[in-house]
Amino acid sequence: MTNDKLIVRINELAKKAKTVGLTEDEIKERDKLRKEYIKNFREQFKTEILDNIYIVEKDGTETKLTKD
């Protein structure tokens, strides 16, 4: 499921939780969707941000940041 669809469904469940409450199945679904969203966010953040960080030395050389 894409992040946009996850957000829409999570928001639907949040609104329902505030108004009429959630069933046990909906609570489980909400928790599963939240975990999936966080997992997707972390993967995307790593790919778009962390994998593209370079350290620029005073002499102008660039070294890719690595996890040691």
The number of beta carbons lying within 10 Å of the beta carbon of residue 29 is: 15
pLDDT tens-digit readout, 22-66: 999 999 999 999 999 999 999 999 888 888 899 999 999 999 988
Is the pLDDT reported for residue 68 higher than 70? no
Which CATH number goes with the domain that contains 29? 1.10.287.540
**Tokens 């790919």 belong to which residue?**
47
- Domain of residue 22, residue span: 3-64
Token pair in block for residue 15: 């609104």
What is residue 51's predicted lDDT score, i.e. its pLDDT? 86
Count of the separate structural domains present in the chain: 1
